[in-house]
Each structure stands twice: as C-alpha cells, then as structure tokens.
C-alpha cells in the first residue's frame, strides 16, 4: 500500500533515512541544513498539488468521453490526491500543535 502512495512514500522513507543518519546516532559532527525541513514541506505541497492537477485532468478527460481515459485510473488518481492532501493537512496540524505546546510551556 505504501509503495502505491508515490511521492509521499518517498518523503516518508527519506525522513526515516535522515533520522537514522542523524548526528546523534552516528556521533559525527555535521553542519545542520537550515532549509531541509522547509524543503521537505515544499516538496510535499508540490507533490500534492501535482497529484490534484493530474486527478482533475483525468476527471475532465473521463467526463469528455475520451476513449483513453479509464474509470479505474481516474478513481485511483483522485484517491491518491485526497490521501496526499490529508497527509499534508495532518502534518500541518501536528506542527501547529507542537508550536502551541512549546509556546504554552511555563518559563
């Protein structure tokens, strides 16, 4: 199932790989990349946007009775788009929750 999620699974597997290679586990000093988190979020948003565009295009082709359009492929593309969007929204909610928890900590 995870391999069918496309770019989202790649994002998740790269996050796991990055966590395994973290400086705390390898005990090697490394320079921190300040844009890595922002790049990961931007990549996830871009992937979700492209997936939504593809699903919309496939739906339009299906509605126009394009003989190359498949109902099954269109439904899969729409569900993939929905799943990616839901994952991005859940990640955003967790980030906001963590931020609010940190801001509400007593000093």
3-state DSSP assignment of residue 11: helix
What pLDDT is recorded for position 10? Answer: 54
What pLDDT is recorded for position 2? Answer: 44
- In the numeric block, the tokens 């394009």 are attached to 66
Confidence of residue 16 (pLDDT cuts 50, 70, 90): very low
pLDDT top residue among 92 and 10: 92
- pLDDT digits 0-9 by tens, 38-75: 888 889 899 999 999 999 999 999 999 999 989 999 99
User: Is the whole model's pTM more than 0.75, yes or no?
Assistant: no
Tokens linked to 10: 């790649």
- In the numeric block, the tokens 């906001």 are attached to 96
């Amino acid at each position: 199932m995870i391999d069918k999620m496309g770019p989202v699974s790649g994002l998740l597997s790269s996050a796991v790989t990055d966590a395994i290679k973290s400086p705390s586990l390898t005990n090697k000093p490394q320079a921190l990349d300040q844009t890595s988190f922002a790049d990961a979020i931007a990549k996830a948003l871009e992937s979700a946007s492209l997936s939504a565009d593809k699903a919309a295009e496939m739906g339009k082709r299906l509605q126009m009775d394009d003989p190359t359009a498949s109902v099954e492929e269109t439904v899969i593309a729409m569900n993939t788009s929905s799943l990616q969007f839901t994952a991005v929204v859940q990640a955003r909610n967790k980030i906001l929750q963590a931020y609010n928890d940190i801001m509400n900590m007593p000093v």
